[in-house]
Chain A
C-alpha cells in the first residue's frame, strides 16, 4: 500500500509537470495574447503596449516565463489575474463550490439512473424496456450538451416558465428551494451523457457477469433469481464500474465547462472559458492545474475503492 501510494505520487508529479508544460506552451503559442485586450483600448500606442508587455514579463523567452510561473506555483503563489488583479487561487476556490455542487449532483444522478437502467436492461435483455434504453442512450450520446442545454432552457424556462434560465440562485434569495430550482436543469443536462454512458457500461458489465459459470452455480444452489442477480451478478458487475467512475471524471469536467456556460453557472468551467477569452493566462493555467489534480485524485480514489471492493486486487 505504501509503495503503491509512493508510486502514484511520483506518477502524479510527472503527469502534472507534463500537463503544465503542454498547457503553457499551447496557451502561449496560440495566436492572440493578453495584449490584444489592451490594444482595444482607444489611444493605446505601440510603446505603451510594449511597456505593458515588459511589465507582465511577456517579452521574455517562453521557457523562462514557464520557469518563473512554476517556481511560484509550487510555493503556493499562483499569480494574479490579468483582468482584475485578484489572486488566482482565491478566484478559483471561490468558483469551486458551484462546480462541485453541479458535478456531484450530476454524478449522483448518473450513477443512480445509469446503474438502474443498465441492470434492468441486462436482466430483461431484449425486452421493450431494453430496446428503449438502448435507443435512448444512443440519442443522448449523439445530442451535443450545449444544444440540449439550450433546448431545456427554451422549453422549461422560456416556454413553460417552470425553472430559472440560469445562474445558481436568485439575488437576495438564499433559500434551499431556490438553490435547488436553479440546480435541476443544469444538473440534468450535465448528467444526460453520463447516464447514457453508465447505463451502457452497466448493462455490458452485467451481461458479462451473468454469462459466467458462478452464476450457474448460484442458480444450482436453489437461489431465487433476485438473489442471483443482486448478491452474485450485481456485486461483481459493479467492480468495473468503479474504474469507469475514475475514467469518466475528465469527461464530466468537460461537460461541466459547457453546461456552466450555457446556464451562466458561476463555476470553474465558465470561469475557464471567460478567462480563455481574455487570455488571462494565470487563471487559465490555474484552472488547468486544479482540474488535473482533481482527475488524479479521482483516479487514485477509484483505485483504492477497487482494491477495497475486489479481494483479487492488492495495492
Chain B
C-alpha cells in the first residue's frame, strides 16, 4: 500500500462500499462513498433515516457485523497521533481496537440506552481511560471526574458514583461525550447525538461539542437528519440518499443554494421561525428512502423528485458531478434545477 497521500486530513475515506449478507443475497447499504475530514473541522453527514449514515460511520469504526456477514470495500485512511497513516478497513482487529475509543471515538443517538445500566458512570468513563492508558483505577477515576467537569456536569466527584438511570437524557449524553474524550481522540464520530433530546438540551450539547472542538482541535463527523443543525455546527456537509452521496460542499453554498432536489426538499423540511406566525408548517418530502434491496432504476430519488424527467431520470444513473466551488451533486438536471429554483 505504501504511505498514501492524505494531505492534511485526519480521515480520508475512499470509495467505501458496505454490503450485508442476507438470506436473499448481499444488500449494498453504502455505495462508493468518499470524503475527508481535516483536524478541527466538522463534516456533517445528512440524510433521512435509512440513507446509510450510520452504516458509513460504523464501517469506519469497523463496528459493522464481522467479515462474512458484512463486506467492506474501499479505504478509510486515518492519520494517527504519531503521524502514520493506516487504512482502517485493512488493519488487524487488534490494531483497530487500540484506535477505537482512543484516537477515534464515537457517540450515539440514544443516550438512554447507550450506557451500561448496571455500571456506575465513573467506572464506565474510567474503563475507557484504562483500556488505552497504563493507569490504575484511582487515576482513571480522577481523569473521569475531570472529564465530567469538562463536559459541564456539576458536582463531578459525586456524579462518578451515579448510575445512568439517575441522570437525565442530556446528562447521559454528556457522560457519553466525556467517555469519548477519555483519550483525547483526533476524530469524534457523533451519530445523531442530539436527535433524542429536546430542543434546549440539543442546543447545549451542540455548543459543548463546538467548545470542545475549539479546545482540542479534534475533527468531528456529525451525523444528523436535520439540516437546521448543520448550519450551526458544520464546516462542510455531505448529503446521503439510498447509500450514496448526492451532494457535498461547503455549508454556506449548500445551505444557501442546494443543487440537488433532495437537499432542497430536506431544507424545506426544516422548521423556520418567522416573525408573523410562529413556525412555518414543514413540508416533508413525500414518500420514503427506498430500501437498498429495491433501488429504482436510474436516479434513486426519481420516484420522489419534483423535477424528475421521464425517460431520462428513470433510465440513466446520475454520476456525482462537480458543480461550482468544489460543490458536488448527483443529479442529471442540476443546472436546469438550479435555474428553476433561483426563480421566486
Residues of chain A lying within 8 A (CB to CB) of residue B165? 311-312
Partner-binding segment picked from A46-54, A63-71, A215-223: A215-223
A207 to chain B, nearest CB (A): 14
- With an 8 Å Cβ cutoff, the count of chain A residues facing the other chain is 21
Q: Which of B81-117 contact A (CB under 8 A)?
A: 97-102, 105-106, 108, 110, 113-117
Partner-binding segment picked from A127-135, A231-239, A259-267, A278-286: A231-239
Asked if A222 and B113 make an inter-chain contact with CB atoms under 8 angstroms apart, the answer reads no
Indicate whether B61 reaches chain A with its CB closer than 8 angstroms.
Answer: yes
Residues of chain B lying within 8 A (CB to CB) of residue A223? 97, 101, 127, 131
For B102, give its contact among A217, A219, A222, A236 (CB under 8 Å): A222
| Max count, chain B CB within 10 A of own CB: residue among A214, A220, A231, A311 | A220
A226 to chain B, nearest CB (A): 11
- Give the complex CA separation of A212 and B165 in angstroms: 16
- Give the complex CA separation of A312 and B167 in angstroms: 12
- Chain B, Cβ-Cβ closest to A215: B116
Asked if B108 and A217 make an inter-chain contact with CB atoms under 8 angstroms apart, the answer reads yes
Asked if B131 and A221 make an inter-chain contact with CB atoms under 8 angstroms apart, the answer reads yes
A13 to chain B, nearest CB (A): 33
Indicate whether A310 reaches chain B with its CB closer than 8 angstroms.
Answer: yes
Asked if A213 and B101 make an inter-chain contact with CB atoms under 8 angstroms apart, the answer reads no
Indicate whether A307 reaches chain B with its CB closer than 8 angstroms.
Answer: no
Residues of chain B lying within 8 A (CB to CB) of residue A232? 116, 119
Indicate whether B128 reaches chain A with its CB closer than 8 angstroms.
Answer: yes
Indicate whether A7 reaches chain B with its CB closer than 8 angstroms.
Answer: no
Indicate whether A175 reaches chain B with its CB closer than 8 angstroms.
Answer: no
A77 to chain B, nearest CB (A): 47
For A312, give its contact among B99, B105, B131, B163 (CB under 8 Å): B163
Q: A214-B114, A309-B118 are in contact. Are A221 and B128 (CB under 8 A)?
A: yes
A138 to chain B, nearest CB (A): 23
Residues of chain A lying within 8 A (CB to CB) of residue B105? 220
Asked if B116 and A220 make an inter-chain contact with CB atoms under 8 angstroms apart, the answer reads no
Indicate whether B132 reaches chain A with its CB closer than 8 angstroms.
Answer: yes
- Give the complex CA separation of A219 and B108 in angstroms: 12
- Give the complex CA separation of A310 and B163 in angstroms: 10
Residues of chain A lying within 8 A (CB to CB) of residue B230? none
- Chain A, Cβ-Cβ closest to B123: A231
Indicate whether A177 reaches chain B with its CB closer than 8 angstroms.
Answer: no
Asked if B131 and A216 make an inter-chain contact with CB atoms under 8 angstroms apart, the answer reads no
- Chain B, Cβ-Cβ closest to A310: B118
For B106, give its contact among A214, A220, A310, A311 (CB under 8 Å): A220
A123 to chain B, nearest CB (A): 12
- Give the complex CA separation of A221 and B61 in angstroms: 10
Residues of chain A lying within 8 A (CB to CB) of residue B108? 213, 216-217, 220
For B114, give its contact among A213, A222, A224, A235 (CB under 8 Å): A213
Asked if B61 and A220 make an inter-chain contact with CB atoms under 8 angstroms apart, the answer reads yes
For B100, give its contact among A222, A231, A236 (CB under 8 Å): A222
Residues of chain B lying within 8 A (CB to CB) of residue A220? 61, 63, 100-101, 105-106, 108
Residues of chain B lying within 8 A (CB to CB) of residue A310? 117-118
A146 to chain B, nearest CB (A): 41
Residues of chain A lying within 8 A (CB to CB) of residue B128? 221-222
Asked if A214 and B115 make an inter-chain contact with CB atoms under 8 angstroms apart, the answer reads yes
Instruction: Give a binary string over B59-80; 1 marks a CB under 8 Å from any A CB, 0 the rest.
Output: 0010100000000000000000
Instruction: Give a binary string over A129-157; 1 marks a CB under 8 Å from any B CB, 0 the rest.
Output: 00000000000000000000000000000
B183 to chain A, nearest CB (A): 9
Residues of chain A lying within 8 A (CB to CB) of residue B179? 217, 221
- Give the complex CA separation of A176 and B115 in angstroms: 49
For A213, give its contact among B98, B110, B163 (CB under 8 Å): B110
- Give the complex CA separation of A218 and B113 in angstroms: 12
Asked if A217 and B115 make an inter-chain contact with CB atoms under 8 angstroms apart, the answer reads yes
- Give the complex CA separation of A248 and B220 in angstroms: 51
Asked if B132 and A222 make an inter-chain contact with CB atoms under 8 angstroms apart, the answer reads yes
- Chain B, Cβ-Cβ closest to A217: B114
Residues of chain A lying within 8 A (CB to CB) of residue B97? 222-224
- Give the complex CA separation of A164 and B48 in angstroms: 70
For B176, give its contact among A217, A219, A235, A239 (CB under 8 Å): A217
Asked if B116 and A312 make an inter-chain contact with CB atoms under 8 angstroms apart, the answer reads no
A127 to chain B, nearest CB (A): 13
- Chain A, Cβ-Cβ closest to B179: A221
For B116, give its contact among A218, A219, A309 (CB under 8 Å): A218
A115 to chain B, nearest CB (A): 17
- Give the complex CA separation of A223 and B61 in angstroms: 13
Asked if B127 and A221 make an inter-chain contact with CB atoms under 8 angstroms apart, the answer reads yes
29 contacting pairs across A/B (C-beta < 8 A) = A212-B113, A213-B110, A214-B115, A214-B116, A216-B108, A216-B114, A217-B116, A218-B116, A220-B100, A220-B105, A220-B106, A220-B108, A221-B127, A221-B131, A221-B179, A221-B182, A222-B97, A222-B100, A222-B102, A222-B132, A232-B116, A232-B119, A235-B119, A236-B117, A239-B118, A311-B117, A312-B118, A312-B163, A312-B165
The 6 closest A-B pairs by CB, nearest first: A222-B101, A221-B101, A222-B100, A213-B113, A311-B163, A220-B106
**Given pairs A214-B116, A310-B117, A312-B163, 10 additional interface contacts (CB within 8 A):** A214-B114, A216-B63, A217-B114, A219-B63, A219-B100, A220-B63, A220-B101, A221-B179, A235-B116, A311-B117
